[in-house]
Amino acid sequence: MHKNSKIYIAGHKGMVGSAIWRALKDKGYSNLIGFPSSKLDLTNQKQVEDFFLTYKPEYVFLAAAKVGGILANATYPAQFIYTNIAIATNVIHAAHKTKVKKLLFLGSSCIYPRECPQPIKEEYLLTSSLEPTNEAYAIAKIAGLKMCEFYFKEYKDNFFAVMPTNLYGPNDNFHLETSHVLPAMLRKFHEAKINNKQHVTLWGTGRPKREFLHVDDLAEACIFLMNLKQDFPRLLNIGCGQDLSIKELAYKIKTIIGYNGEIIWDTSKPDGTPRKLLDISKIKKLGWQPKIKLDKGISSTYKWFVANYNNIKE
């Protein structure tokens, strides 16, 4: 990408899209394009095709998606599969028709089978059954990454997909019903602290293990791959290569926030996938590796959360 290349960030107001936007701005890219969903409905094929014909972006970061944690995925599976397949189909096909030079599709580590060997290699995709609680979202993301693969195979379109691990950072979703585990914990412990609550109740047993990557590290990886001149696989994992149990994460966040109450584990609630640790050897061989350590990342995210607390959506 050149500094004046037309670069479209789909989903530029979300956590991932806004991180990519910030990183591009910091690096001197000056011709960035972004529209909120109120002005460009990515599930509407005509609106998407009209946008691509009008603005003719050269590079596309497809970070727009309907996302959520276990509860949201289990409650709204039809919304998750429809919205995410529609976004992928419309944007990828419009990019093909308008001869976009390079497109990066953001997937998710939940695309991999529930009972996966660890760490998870890209080759394990579609080798066994998915985790039921996020099956709808996973299938939609698999459809998007397969579109990138097949448009490259049939048309030689330079489209590829990256599979990030669990992400966190500024502009995350902190809604207690629809958020992922780390931001939900940040909010729960913060509100328990300021309201002097004696305990915090968390879902499950705390035994599942998860890997967490700061969204700014992901943004750096995405820009690195967009600028890579050599050929590389159409599907790449992006993570930090280390995981910890949900229980360990809870006590880490509890300490960082300075909450002194108890933690109660509601074992009637689901745990989700037992473990999800990505094998990141392929992207590391290309020359990228994460920089932000988990403790530092959680601390900076908590500062952002406190500073923006009054604007956080209920």
Of 257, 237, 271, nearest to 107 (Cα)?
A: 237
Contact (CB, 8 A) for 241 and 176: no
Q: Which helix (H) or strand (E) covers residue 262, if one does? A: strand 262-266
How are beta strands 199-203 and 166-168 bridged, if at all?
unpaired
What percent of the chain shows pLDDT beyond 90?
84
Q: Which of 29, 59, 112, 137 is catalytic?
A: 137
- The string of pLDDT tens digits covering residues 212-222 is 999 999 999 99
Contact (CB, 8 A) for 277 and 119: yes
98-118 burial: b if 16+ Cβ within 10 Å, else e: bebebbbbbbbbbbbbbebee
- The string of pLDDT tens digits covering residues 125-167 is 999 999 888 899 999 999 999 999 999 999 999 999 999 999 9
- Helix, strand, coil shares of the chain, percent, nearest 5, are 45, 15, 40
pLDDT value at residue 70: 73
14 annotated ligand binder? yes
16 annotated ligand binder? yes
109 annotated ligand binder? yes
- The string of pLDDT tens digits covering residues 101-119 is 999 999 988 899 988 899 9
Contact (CB, 8 A) for 130 and 90: no
pLDDT value at residue 67: 78
What is the distance in angstroms between the CA of the first residue and the CA of the last residue of the chain? 38
Contact (CB, 8 A) for 233 and 282: yes
Residue 137 designated active-site = yes
- The string of pLDDT tens digits covering residues 43-73 is 999 999 999 999 999 999 999 998 777 777 7
- The string of pLDDT tens digits covering residues 161-214 is 999 999 999 999 898 877 788 999 999 999 999 999 999 999 999 999 999 999
Copy the structure tokens of residue 192: 């328990």
pLDDT value at residue 131: 85
Residue 313 clears pLDDT 70, i.e. is over it: no
Task: Name the CATH code of domain 7-172+211-242+276-292 (choices 3.40.50.720, 3.90.226.10, 3.90.550.10, 3.10.20.440).
Answer: 3.40.50.720
